[in-house]
Amino acid sequence: MTPVEVEGYRLVSQLGEGSDARAWLAERDGDHMTVVLKILKTTPAENIGAFQSFRQEHAFIAESRHAGVAEIFGHGFAGQYPYLAMEYFPRGSLKDAVQSALVPRQAMAVLAQLAGALAQIHANRIVHRDLKPANVLVREDGTMAIADFGVAARLEAVAADAKQQQVYGSPHYLAPELIRGEPASRLTDIYSLGVLFYEMLTAAKPFPANNIRELAQKHLNTPVPRLPESLGDYQALLDGMLAKDPSQRFQSAQQLLDSVDDVWTRLAVRAAQAP
């Protein structure tokens, strides 16, 4: 049974529960900062695999220090149960926001924040492998941060995962090459970000499907959807993220950021020239 006492923190309420851990809203002693405590439900002796994944998640987030990555404040043991003290996001996740389309300016701002975060994550040879709205959290000031590195991996390790025919991530955000059994890469994260960008602009999935098999076929074969004419300025960005052939995608998050800047510049010039 996971303990409900953690030295240095006052647990306020349980936020949620996954297969391996529970999340608690807590207050840190001393400065009264509100944090989220993620506490494993088993001890290392009971489940060494869960503990190693937990420790790896901490390492990946700690290495990827960036305004667009959720922050970790500490870690330790509550009795024999490992815990992480993490940043609290009072406004929830992007999942709620994409239920209705964002205005293009907002979608572009979020895209730039997330691309910047991915650039830092990828610079450390880490791939997230599960980028989706529920894993993009919203701060009080409206800025966004990528969270949940539970299935993230080093680039050196993903080839081994592919050979074992293990596919990580959520079906609506899977790049075509993952469905073909190829390893994850920086470019598969960029594809997932493209799906997310389409959702932000339209409040819909780019490849709606009735079942997993149909969805997989659409990822593999259905052309990148065309945005309505009113959103045409953003089609090239979408094409560069959702290209079926990885070699036709943006080859890095920084290249994507450069293209975002180009679009913003073009829009600003057009606005300045308008009568």
Q: Which residues are known catalytic residues?
A: 130
C-alpha 213, offset from chain centre: 24
Q: Among positive and negative, which fits the CA dihedral 219, 222, 223, 227?
A: negative
Give the Cα separation of 47 and 21 in Å (integer): 12
Collapsed DSSP state (helix, strand, coil) of residue 6: strand
Residue 164, SS3?
A: coil
Question: Long-range contacts of range 224-228, CB-CB < 8 Å, 24 or more positions apart?
Answer: 225/198, 227/198, 227/201, 227/202
Number of H helices, E strands in the chain: 9, 9
DSSP state of 10: E
